[in-house]
Amino acid sequence: MKIPILLYHSISNDNSSMSLNINFFENQMRYLKNNGFETVDFNEIDTRLKSKKQIIITFDDGYKDILTNALPILKKYNFKATSFFVTNLIGQNNSWDVKKKSYIKKEIMNPSDILQWISSGMHIGSHSHNHVDLTKISEEKLLYELEFSKKFLEDKFDNKNNIFCYPYGKVNENVHYHTKKFYSKAVTTNRSRYSLKRHNTHLIPRIDMGKNFSSFKLYLKLETIYEDIKYKKNELYL
């Protein structure tokens, strides 16, 4: 069984390179609903994958516009989603993007916002503590980024956190090895549908959603070409 795991960042009309227009996002959710899709979470994919009409929706970075713009739409269509948080920047902004030419300062959810997200039936996961490239730091710092962010989310929000999202999608053999010590699953930015039989549980691929409706429908149908290409790159860690 294969499942599309959709990757979003910001849902906003601010023209940021990381943002998807609010109307486009609603069009995509309406398309899913009208075509019989249902959402599952990462804790269910080992047991509940019984249909090709199941998906997972994810948001990286925990931007506040996910709460204000995406959550009402998700609730409207009875969909669930997971947001990955950079724990040291909760309640602050996307300072890791400041050197980008297209940089737009974006607010990140504060603790109260995150509690509202969780109380609405949504899920959370770790996106590290400082949003650094984990492949370029010492082993001591790597372990801190992995362990502290997990403990912070569990202690602060009384929420068991078993899912990790690699910052910038960067992962090598060492990062992969240590991530398995703390998390049951981890997601990448490799584009493919997730296959229980084929993919490593700590190298889960996702589909980064485009900004136009036609490409969205196309991405949902992708199976062979991206899996064949990306899977070969992941064989090192199996």
Task: Tell me which residue has tokens 């996702």.
Answer: 206
Instruction: Provide mean pLDDT across the span 169-182.
Output: 96
- Specify whether the backbone of 158 is left (phi greater than 0), alpha (psi in -120 to 50) or beta: left
Residue 11 has pLDDT above 70, yes or no: yes
For residues 232 and 187, the model is more confident at 187
pLDDT for res 228: 39
Going by their DSSP bridges, the two strands 194-195 and 2-3 should be labelled as antiparallel
**Helices (H), ranges, the chain:** 22-34, 64-65, 71-76, 111-119, 139-157, 173-182, 213-221, 224-234
pLDDT of residue 232: 41
Say what the pLDDT of residue 225 is: 37
The torsion region of residue 62 among left (phi > 0), alpha (psi -120 to 50) and beta comes to left
Residue 16's domain spans which residues? 2-237
| pLDDT tens-digit readout, 24-42 | 999 999 989 998 889 999 9
Task: Check pLDDT > 70 for residue 213.
Answer: no
Please indicate whether residue 185 or residue 161 has the higher confidence score (pLDDT): 185
Tokens of 203: 């190298």
Half-sphere exposure at residue 137, Cβ-oriented, CA atoms within 13 angstroms: 19
* 131 token code pair: 């949003």
- Write the pLDDT tens digit of every residue in 110-160: 999 999 999 999 999 999 999 999 999 999 999 999 999 999 999 999 878
Task: Summarize the confidence of residues 65-85 as an average pLDDT.
Answer: 98
SS3 assignment, position 3: strand
Q: Report pTM.
A: 0.88
The Cα–Cα gap between 222 and 169 comes to 20
185, 162 contact by CB (below 8 A): yes
Report pLDDT for 209: 85
Angle formed at CA 59 by CA 125 and CA 203, multiple of 5 degrees: 65
The predicted pLDDT at position 141 comes to 98
CATH number at residue 232: 3.20.20.370
Number of domains in the chain: 1
135 within 8 A of 167, measured Cβ to Cβ: no
**What is the tens place of the pLDDT at every residue in 162-174?**
999 999 999 999 9
Q: Are 194 and 205 in contact (CB under 8 A)?
A: yes
Return the C-alpha torsion angle 118, 124, 128, 133, nearest 10: -130
